[in-house]
Amino acid sequence: MSILEVNGITKAFGGVKALDDVSVTVEENTLLGIIGPNGSGKTTLVNTITGFVRPDTGSVLFKGRDVIGLPPYRITNMGIGRAFQMVKPFFHLPAFKNIIVPLASPRVRASSGGKYGDKDAVALDVLEEVGFERDSSVPYKTASVLPHGYLKRLELARLLALKSEIFILDELFSGLSIAEVTSIIPIIEKILLDGKTVVMVEHRLKELFRIADKVIVLNYGKKIKEGPPKEILEDEEVKKAYLGVEV
């Protein structure tokens, strides 16, 4: 069953068409990869789905309901979680306090009795899930002093805290070492095991193709290919567009 349907999205910034009639269907409990060269419209697509950008035409259906025109916080509360490519933690707050904010969202409060306060233990549980060592001082450190790898995990932790149904991860692996990526992949696999859906925008193809169920390729705002990772790898058009290899 498809949980998210993107139908014919077009978005132009001035004269440039960032997205040109893009349609994507995301099946429930699968991992969809979105790849494409720089400037191909990947992040614009994510921004459109999460409400940060309003498309010129097209619709985005989440469980059959159109989310176009809704503000980002409403979309988040419906269950579409989004991690930013450029990490956006609350820099002057300790790491675990960063998680208190999503825990105070209407979505989470509705499932936990509608109260604010006393969320520290829950926040630490969530942080532990994404690899913050619970007994160390790391969860208590101010986000501004945390290394990049932890900030990426913090983005993931925000979506876990929100109990999102779709995790949209915008270049989660960018700027991470191979070791760090290898330690994050099990977290994503666990999210899938829990029955959630994941959409990943990625440049790290090797890691992505290992875990993705389906991959779509964008180029100049157009969807040029869609299919399982294996087919994508062998497709000549993709190689040409993405890797710049002459055929």
Partner 1 sequence: MKENYRKERIARSIKARSDDIYALTSYREMWYLLFPRFIPIVGIAIVSYFLPLYWKKVAITTCIFAMLAVSWDFLSNCGLLSLGQALFFGIGSYTAGGLNHYLHLPIYVTIPVATVMGGFISTMILLPVVRLRGIYFAMVTLILPLMLMRLVEATKILGGTEGITGLSPFPNVWFEITLILAAMWASLFGLRRFIASDYGLIFVSMRDNDRATMASGINIYAFKAQALFIGSSICAFCGAFMTHSYQFTGMPVFAMEFSILPIAAAAIGGIGTLAGPLVGAMILVPLSEVLREFGTLRIVFYGLILVICVVALPEGIFHYASRKYNEMERWVKIE
Name the site residues for partner 1 (rule: CB under 8 A): 50, 52, 71-73, 76-77, 81-82, 84, 88-93, 97-98, 100-102, 104-108, 116-119, 158, 162
How far apart are alpha carbons 188 and 197 in whole angstroms? 10
* Cβ proximity to partner 1, 52 vs 209, nearer residue: 52
> In the complex, what is the shortest distance from the CB of residue 136 to partner 1, in angstroms, rounded to a whole number?
16
* Cβ proximity to partner 1, 36 vs 102, nearer residue: 102
* Cβ proximity to partner 1, 101 vs 211, nearer residue: 101
Cα distances (angstroms) measured from residue 200 to each of 98, 125, 127, 216: 23, 24, 21, 10
Does residue 105 come out as left (phi exceeding 0), alpha (psi in the -120 to 50 range) or beta?
beta
Q: Are 218 and 22 contacting, i.e. CB atoms less than 8 angstroms apart?
A: yes
How far apart are alpha carbons 13 and 91 in whole angstroms? 31
> In the complex, what is the shortest distance from the CB of residue 238 to partner 1, in angstroms, rounded to a whole number?
31
> In the complex, what is the shortest distance from the CB of residue 232 to partner 1, in angstroms, rounded to a whole number?
29
* Cβ proximity to partner 1, 100 vs 215, nearer residue: 100
> In the complex, what is the shortest distance from the CB of residue 117 to partner 1, in angstroms, rounded to a whole number?
5
> In the complex, what is the shortest distance from the CB of residue 171 to partner 1, in angstroms, rounded to a whole number?
15
Nearest to 6 by CA among 166, 160, 203: 166
* Cβ proximity to partner 1, 143 vs 184, nearer residue: 143
Q: Are 238 and 224 contacting, i.e. CB atoms less than 8 angstroms apart?
A: yes
Q: Which residues of 141-168 are buried (b: 16+ CB within 10 A; e: fewer)?
A: eebeebeebbbbbbbbbbbbbbbbbbbb
